[in-house]
Chain A
Amino acid sequence: MAVCVAVIGKDNSPLYIGGIGNDSGSDNELSRQWLVHTALDALEERLTTTGNGAAGANANAARTDMRDLYLGLLYSTDTHKIYGYVTNTRIKLVLVTHSTSPSGSNIRDAEVRAALRRLHALYADAVCNPFHLPGDPINSQKFDKQVKNLMLNNV
């Protein structure tokens, strides 16, 4: 079950942070922001190293294009797991889940991957709005609603 979803711009400033859950205790907005914020380090490091992984110089460009946008688990804490996803325009999508789902089953990687892909699609829809300036925080209500939906249903 996703706890928080964040869209982060290429200058690492937050574009959108959406979370569900009560706003008390450790689950509040601020702690979610801390989680996502600290995940950025690992995310960026991951980005630079995946770029490095390509062996040949000429294959490099092709690899960057083709590379999987999904970065996998960035890090985990006692309570949460943080997954990352980077679009080709360096917009970072971060998804935070509880480390153990209430049902006890572990969250599968493929589910997260699918959720992040959907989130990417939602983001693309949101920025297609001609009145949206790229780099500005997203405050579309529709986007918010859809993201909340995504968090509740799919993961």
Chain B
Amino acid sequence: MRSSVSYILSHAPGESVMSHPDYAQHAQHHACLLVLVKGIGGMLKNFNKLWERIQKVNNIKVTDSSGQVRDIWVRYVRDYPVENNDWGDFQTHRRLLGLITLSKFTNQVELNEVCRVHESLKVKYSNTLYDSRAFMFGPVSNMKKPEQEPETYSYEEEKVSKEGSSLGDKYSLPSEQADSLSSSESFPRSTSSSASFPVQEENFTTPSNFKTHAMFYGENDPVPDLEQNVADLINSLFWVVESKRLERSREKLEKVSLLLAPFEKKDFVGLDMESRNNKKRCMGRVTKNLADLTLQSGLVAESLSLYHNSAEILKSVNDWLWLAAAKEGLCAASAILLYPNLRNPTPLQRNASLQESSPNKTKPLSLFQPNIDPFRKYKATSSPLRSSKNSSPINPPSELTPSSSDSIETSSRQSETDNADSESIASSSDIEYQSQKSFYVSDHSSIPRQPPSQINNQYLLNGEEIAEKYRKAIIHYSKYQNAGIIETEACFKAARIAVEQNNSLHASSFLQNVIFINLTLSEQEKIQRFDTLAELYKEIGFLRKAAFCQRLAATRQVSPNNPNPDWQRCYYLMLHSFPGHRLSLDPNYVIQHQVGWPALQIQLLQELVVAARRMGHPALATRHMTFLLQTMWPHLSRQEHRDLAIQLQALSAQCEGGPVPLVLETGEVIPPANLTHVPHCSWFSPRPLPPPRAPTLVKCKTQTGPFIFTPIHFGSLERKTKKDEGRMEYLWVEDDICEVQMKLTNPLPFELKVSNMRLLTSGVVFESIPETIILPPDSPTTVNLHGTPKEVGELQILGYSTHTLGVKSNCRLKNMPMPNKFPASFTIEVIPSLPTITIETTVAPSGSVSMSSLENIGSTTNISLHNGESTECTMKITNTSNVPIEYLDIAIQSNMDSQLQSKVFQFSNEEIQAQLPIPPNETATVVMKLYGEADFLDLGGVGGENLFPNSLTSNYPSRVGSPVPNAQTSLPTQSSNPQTSLSSGLMVNRTSGSFRSTNSHTTSWSAPISVMPPSRGRQIETQVLIRYSGGAGKELHCRQSSLQINLELLPSVSITHWDVLPAEIPTQLYLVLDVTNLTSEEMEFHYAPSKHILIESKESCRVPVPLDRCPFSATPPKQLDDDTIDSKSTTTGTSTNSLELMCSEHITNNIDLRWHLQHSGIGGRASVRGITLSQAMMDIVRMSPLNWEVSVNKRVIAPQQELTCAAGECVSLGVCVRNHLPRALRRLCLSVQLYQDYNNGALSYRLDNRVAAAGNNKVVLPTLAESAKAYHECTVVFLTPGEYKIDIQCSTTEPVLEDTAILKETDHQSLIQPCAGEVSHVWRFIPPVAISVTD
């Protein structure tokens, strides 16, 4: 766009170079009257308000002399350099035409000063000023207008000349207006008539040289007629301009003088002014001047042709500067007609003069609400023409999706329709505008707008042409170095039109051109240039360009060339360039939308930190540094991490960073930046309470189904689990310390101190305990954070807070950096507080084990007991909480089956319940009895061929008649199937335990101990579960403490073998036990009330224990039935078993075995529980159902009685059998058999030549009625001397083989026949009768 022949006509920097560019200019300002509004004197409180009100009066309608309505526009500025005024001939809109002062005074002196300043301002702009107003605000309201001299203007000579020269014109003016011009004595009639000026208390007088139309108000007066007065001023200005226009239009073109731009003055010295070229030049310039005036006085359409004409003329004489001005004018006029909404007041921004542009003026950043797309906003505040652009030019981050071609198409279509609609939109906005303006127009008669036909002016340029013409104009301007400012302004104006045209590329090319214009500007103006560039770039959506310009402006602010660096403005400029760098002030937004150029962002942020620091706002510096570390973490190298972290530390030393939003003076809010990378958290999870403090449900949950586990998963059905991610299954307890575990890593290469780590929670009140840790570099460390919930309800854990590198951060889980996906919060239910206890256990009698458990977890009590020993264990339960214990339940779990367990551990539940409730800090005592329950019978070698391994007979020859089956033929006991009875008996014993264990749900051990071999020590692990509760939540939850008791059972005695012997008295028997002392001490073994024996360590002893025989009546009749009638059936197992059980129980209950260790004084009991008995033994144990009375030689023999007789002597043997059963016995076979016992286990029954018997040695009794007696007698003669024994037995046979005839007839039955094979039970007379036969 630059002219290739730059500066051809330019000179060295001239003296009157316009050096103050007005970057805020718009094309429509060409048609405006320039009015300076100035506050003088003391600062007015409501100055800004008044300024705004004045600005609203920017358009009035005036009916001119021909009855046409003129639209007059005004531009108000707050400051105007006089030098720019000098260009007033070149472009008339640069002339300052009016002056309004708003002044405050409190006394006469100040009033004088104010008046002086006003007058001096008038003098300053005397060349161009047409009229002025002074609004004076005095100390009291409703001030009277002071005396005042008539207003005079310094341009009077001009006025006079004007009056003189164009008197005729003046007459055409309405008289009223003419008056106002000539003398302001009568000036605003409307005001003087409408506004009342009451009597003034103090008489202020304006100085004599103050000749301005002044209005006086109290400082706080509403100033109702402000708009009216301003409108009056404009009205008067218009008429001056109009008169000037008319004057100009009637000038003779041949005679006009040459109009000059300020720097041209020297150029034409000595030139022939009369040349044809120069004439044309003069004509062209005057025409251009006229066009300017025409445009200003509201005749836009007419100005078009004038501009065109002047351009034609000037082109022919190559007067490029003025040609450019003419073209620009044409463009401006066209733009005003084409885009009327350009003039629509959007006050502060369009019309505000540049000089008051402070940071305050700039738009607030939309970034602070990250939910609004920050990159979108800049388009939103635009005129209706531009509104369609919202979708197209920039891709906001949300639209980064790949809809490339689509978006192009739609946007293209949109803009097409836009172009088509622009006409209608314009007209509609006109209407709107009129209604807005109606207030100001109300004074004047309402007039229709310019007819639309006027728009179809032949010279009217369309949008494309405007841009083209402007381009040419700028090229022309660029040929003059001195016109640099004009060129710059033209660029901005052209860019603004391009913005209005929605043509960003044009706009950007115009803006780009600004950069190339080489101007000698003050640093401040350069900054303003960049600022305005940025502003316009923003408007066309070139956010990056805007950001670039802002950053340039910022660096200029503090460049070394700048005499007075302004770090604050630098800071704000940087801050406002955030959107262009795709940065947001909210770190989370930046992290989530990782777009933009990290290298540039890092650079900007670092500069921002410096600016903030130099600005003297260390808090901001810290904040931005934190932000930099947090958001740019992935893009920084390790070295940079380290450096920045150290910088941050240094910064935060001045001002600590905290997680609170910072509010800038401009009202912008800098949201907190939290360091979640330092330290890096890779694991975060709340922990359940430790087992002893974890609450459990008082009542077990009812099982919903029979299945505990299913391998089948229906993925689609498992939505429930997804939903409450972060909801914890366990409970926390009010007032109880809870724990969250996290894993932290220090990514920095130095040791990092993290202090004051707490948990961030919501929901119920939670008291977090601060934690300080020091993290070594690069090694994950597990950290536990603790806290106490103080209320009941739901607790959400949102994250944690840290204080590291001098920055406090609230690290929320939802904002955690990506690789670890945490749920947004963890939700935990907090239940009412529950009591806590400590348990102290003492083992009473021995006192050997006393263990106090303070923290009642895993406390273990070790007790060793000898088998059969008992002791007491005292548990002291102390309530250590503030909640009374109202529920206490003790259960025992062990690796024993429950039956055994109940024998080992005994406690009274009632006693426990009686002690409840336990108030805080009180103690309850629970006494538990421990008994070393054991099976004293050593069943070590069970199995195999040896059926009765423990019976004494297998090892020891017995003195007594033994049922040892070594003479099978003669022993009918084989039919009783001892194998079955024994094995089944054992089976019950063995299997019962394990069977029960499957039932018992309390036992968790896999192989419970049920049978305890007595010879070895056993370890019993027992857990005493104490469930307790109290307080508000006692109905639902309780706590469970467990106390481990390791019980060691030491062997004491064992009974290795046993047998039963008949006692001397038939009602008694001896239980003969082989007792082994398994201890290492000497033992005193009490086995009968008055009998004891000392057993050496590891020694074995045989003791006979006298016992009563098991009474018959104790047995239920049913069992007898089984015994007698069904004895032959194969299912005798159970019946025999029950019988055996009965016998063994009888023995167990009646035996009282005690042992006492002499040395250590420990004593205990032993029992023979589970003793097994063979059939033969049982016969001994049980009372016989038959009562025997055996008599020898008519004398009844006593038990154990020694009988002697001589060989050859006839001995009469009488056997009397009485039935004690409650019913009759049938088919009894009573036999008497003699034999010799060699006492070496061999029995000889072959006594044919030694004994002679007379009478039946076997009789069959068909029936023996209840309580009936049967007597049988036979005679025996012993032929040789020796020891003889008589076996007397009675057997019953199966009734199947009933041979009643035989039974009835024969008393003398054959020996074998009736009994053989069918013997089902045998009763013997015990002990056998022994007779020693002597010579």
Which residues of A are at the interface with B, using a C-beta cutoff of 8 A? 10-14, 17, 29-30, 33-34, 37-38, 40-42, 44-49, 51-54, 57, 60-61, 64, 75-78, 89-90
Contact = CB atoms under 8 A, between A and B. Distances in A.
Contact of B537 (A30, A41, A44, A57): A41
Contact of B408 (A13, A37, A64): A64
Nearest to B405: A64
A45 B393 contact: yes
A61 B409 contact: yes
A41 B516 contact: no
Given A37-B597, A45-B504, A75-B508, A10 B404 contact: yes
B595 A11 contact: yes
B400 A41 contact: no
Given A12-B395, A38-B547, A45-B505, 9 more contacts: A10-B404, A12-B596, A37-B544, A37-B548, A48-B392, A48-B411, A49-B504, A51-B408, A89-B404
Nearest to B394: A44
A51 B408 CA distance: 5
Chain A interface helix/strand/loop/mixed: helix
A34 B412 contact: no
A45 B508 contact: yes
B415 interface: yes
Contacts of A48: 392-393, 407-408, 411-412
Contacts of B700: none
B599 interface: yes
A49 B559 CA distance: 38
Contacts of A77: 515
Contacts of A52: 408, 411-412, 415-416
B409 A60 contact: yes
A52 B544 CA distance: 22
A54 B305 CA distance: 35
B706 interface: no
A51 B411 contact: yes
Question: Which among A34, A47, A48, A53 has the greatest number of chain B C-beta atoms within 10 A?
Answer: A48
B395 A42 contact: no
A51 B397 CA distance: 20
Given A14-B597, A34-B548, A46 B412 contact: no
Interface residues on B, range: 35 or more
B517 to A, nearest CB: 12
B412 A60 contact: yes
Interface string B538-564: 001111110110000000000000000
9 contacts: A12-B595, A30-B600, A37-B600, A42-B505, A45-B508, A49-B504, A64-B408, A89-B402, A90-B402
A42 B512 CA distance: 11
Nearest to B410: A51
A90 B595 contact: no
A152 to B, nearest CB: 23
B603 interface: yes
Interface string B399-440: 010101101110111011000000000000000000000000
A101 to B, nearest CB: 19
A33 B405 contact: no
A60 B409 CA distance: 7
Given A42-B508, A48-B393, A30 B515 contact: no
Select the residue from A12, A29, A64 with max chain B CB neighbours within 10 A.
A12
Given A37-B548, A41-B543, A75-B512, A29 B411 contact: no
Interface string B377-403: 000000000000000111101001010
B595 A13 contact: yes
B595 A41 contact: no
A41 B508 CA distance: 9
B518 to A, nearest CB: 10
A48 B184 CA distance: 59
Contact of A29 (B547, B594, B599): B599
A40 B544 contact: yes
B535 to A, nearest CB: 14
B577 to A, nearest CB: 11
B395 A44 contact: yes
B548 A38 contact: yes
Contact of B600 (A11, A34, A44, A45): A34
A38 B533 CA distance: 13
B406 to A, nearest CB: 10
Interface string B258-302: 000000000000000000000000000000000000000000000
Contact of A45 (B404, B405, B542, B547): B542
Contacts of A10: 400, 402, 404
A60 B394 CA distance: 20
Contacts of A46: 505
A90 B395 CA distance: 12
A41 B395 CA distance: 10
Interface in B20-69: none
A14 B409 CA distance: 26
Contacts of B548: 34, 37-38
Contacts of B404: 10, 89-90
Nearest to B404: A90
B599 A30 contact: yes
A84 B685 CA distance: 51
B706 to A, nearest CB: 51
Contact of A51 (B409, B537, B600): B409
A72 B585 CA distance: 35
A29, A49, A54, A76, most chain B CB atoms within 10 A: A49
B412 A54 contact: yes
A78 B2 CA distance: 12
A13 B412 contact: no
A41 B537 CA distance: 9
Nearest to B504: A45
Contacts of A57: 409, 413
A3 to B, nearest CB: 16
B1204 to A, nearest CB: 118
Contact of B412 (A12, A42, A51, A90): A51
A44 B597 CA distance: 16
B1315 to A, nearest CB: 102
Interface string B595-614: 11101100100000000000
Nearest to B518: A78
B542 A30 contact: no
B408 A41 contact: no
A-B interface, 5 closest residue pairs, ranked by CB to CB distance from nearest:
A51-B408, A52-B412, A41-B542, A11-B400, A38-B548
Contacts of B402: 10, 89-90
Contacts of B547: 38
A81 B542 CA distance: 18
Interface string B578-603: 00001000000000001111011001
A40 to B, nearest CB: 5
A117 to B, nearest CB: 20
A77 B408 CA distance: 28
B400 to A, nearest CB: 4
B909 to A, nearest CB: 70
Contacts of B543: 41
A30 B548 CA distance: 13
A54 to B, nearest CB: 7
B1286 to A, nearest CB: 109
Contacts of A51: 405, 408-409, 411-412
A25 to B, nearest CB: 15
Contacts of A44: 393-395
Name, among A44, A61, A78, the residue most crowded by chain B CB atoms within 10 Å (CB to CB). Answer: A44
Interface string B677-694: 000000000000000000
Contacts of A37: 544, 548, 597, 600
A49 B541 CA distance: 13
Interface string B481-509: 00000000000000000000000110011
A17 B599 CA distance: 11
B736 to A, nearest CB: 49
Contacts of A41: 394, 508, 537, 541-545
A79 to B, nearest CB: 11
